[in-house]
Structure formats: structure tokens, C-alpha cells
Amino acid sequence: MEERHKSLEEKLVEWMKSQGYPLEMAVARAFQRKNFLIIRSEYYLDPDTHTARETDVVASVQEEVGDVFIRLSFVLECKTSLDKPWLLFSDEMGLADPARVAQRAASTTGASFLYSLATDHRVSELPLFQIDSPASYGFTQAFTSGQDRAYEAALSAAKAVAALTHHADLQEERTGEPYALVAFPVIVLRGGLFTARLCDGERLEVKAINEGTLLWRNPVVKNPHTIIKIVTEQHLDAYVEQICASAEPFFERVTKLIAKTGSRPRKRRHTGRAPRTRKAR
């Protein structure tokens, strides 16, 4: 039987699927359903090359407290890798509770809030600031010896976050209005995600997972760690729910902090270090 010729529309659908566009649409819709502000194909200035680059989706939720504008932004890189799963290399590593809060990408004002709230367990215990156990120190795309798409995605998300926080500082300087931005680099993967670690001496354990946390020692966001969340497409809705469960309590704690301090915490040099009351590992 002669094969039916595909229409142009069918060919376009196949091409779009091969390029990953449907995943970007699905990610944007998942956040839209929860009333996040969505920006697709946002451009940012690469801090190294000073050229304009594009990120897939930026989802934000925000509040104004007095004269302070507070925003949580999630920079989402969407990647499809059906035949080449991603591997996260894990170890018995982690961060102390204050460091899980303080070592997040943020504008100068945002960082001052995080530093002041880092020892507040009601903040550090929020799902938004949790780190998957075991956390990962490295990652790669399996079954390839050439271009590493996983590394490219992580670097792109981290640079976009760094650019957003820098832009927030410039906006605050220009307007004189406090702008507290906290930005989270996230990779959404359509494909297999696995963790690999040594167990019982030399036994190598590989396990399928739905989400993971990369504690990357690449200081793109000017912190000791660049903390990147990686979630599979199947786990995306659950991750969005975690964010929603964290956003309102976080805003409440910031509001109380502003009320207590009169306006906002004293600005400090943005090092990303946690308060000395508990040492970050």
C-alpha cells in the first residue's frame, strides 16, 4: 500500500516536536495555570560575551510591600533528550539551612532580605529552599562524547539569572525604588534523568529520578554555589505546586521583616555567604 504523503501542517508539527517547542509551550502553560507572569523567549545580556542571548521561559510571582517591590522569578531552560539521558553525579553533600537560603541568586536588595531571613526556619524549611538528597556536584548528558547539552543548559540558565539580578540592581539605581529580586535557575527535561553515586565502597548505583539539585561550584551568580533545580516534564506540575506552597509564606516573612526593620535590611556586600550562626558546608 502506498504511503500517504504528509501535509505541510503534519511536517511542521513533526519538526516542532524535534526542536522542543511543545515542551516550552507546556512549561509556560503549567505556570500560567497558577497565575504566574510569563515571559517567553526573554533576551538577556551574556555577562561574559556581552551579546544578547535567549532563554526559553521566565515565570514570576510578585508583591509590593510599601515602597519595596518583591519578585520571585524562575528562569526555565526546556530541553528534550529522549535518546540521551542526563546523569547527575551525587555524593553525601549538602548545605546548612542558612546557606540554602542565602546562596540564591538575587539583586542586592533581594540578597539583603535572604541574608536576614536565612536563620529563620520558617523560610529555610519552605519547599522552595529545599535541596534534593543526595544533592549533585556534577552532571552530564550520557551516550555522547561531543557537545554536552546538559552543561550548555545549566550555563545558559545561570547566566540568565545573573543578568536578571544585575538588571534589577540597575533599575533600582535608576528609579530609587527598592527592588528585591530572587531568581532561580531551573531546567525542565523531557527525557530520562538519573543519579549516579558510589555505594558500599566501589559499587556504582544508578537510579532514575524525577527531580534533582545541582550544587554547582561555577560561581556564575557570585555565590559559592550556583544552585540549579532540574525536573523532568512528568514532575513539572508537582514542582509548580511546591513553588506555590512557598511563595505566600515567603512574602509574609519578608513583609514582617520590613515591618520590623522599618523599611528594609541594611545592604551588605553580596557574597552569598550564610550568617555565621550556622556554618555552610
Q: What is the pLDDT of residues 24-64, one digit of tens each?
A: 999 999 999 999 999 998 999 888 888 999 999 999 999 99
- Amino acid found at 84: K
User: What's the CA gap between 196 and 198, in Å, rounded?
Assistant: 7
Q: What is the pLDDT of residues 185-205, one digit of tens each?
A: 999 999 999 999 988 778 889
Q: Which is more confidently placed, 118 or 274?
A: 118
User: What's the CA gap between 80 and 171, in Å, rounded?
Assistant: 35
Q: How high is the pLDDT of residue 50?
A: 87
User: What's the CA gap between 187 and 191, in Å, rounded?
Assistant: 12
> pLDDT > 90: what percent of the chain?
71
Q: How high is the pLDDT of residue 266?
A: 54
- Amino acid found at 76: L
Helix 8-19 and helix 21-32, axial crossing angle in degrees, nearest 10: 70
Q: Are 194 and 210 in contact (CB under 8 A)?
A: no
Distance separating the N- and C-terminal Cα atoms of the chain: 66
Q: Which is more confidently placed, 82 or 2?
A: 82
Q: Which is more confidently placed, 250 or 268?
A: 250
Pick from 256, 269, 230, 251: nearest CA to 75: 230
Q: What is the pLDDT of residues 203-252, one digit of tens each?
A: 889 999 999 999 999 989 999 999 999 999 999 999 999 999 999 999 99
pLDDT tops 60 at residue 3 = no
C-alpha neighbours within 13 Å on the C-beta side of residue 269: 1
User: What mean pLDDT is predicted for residues 152-181?
Assistant: 95
pTM of structure: 0.88
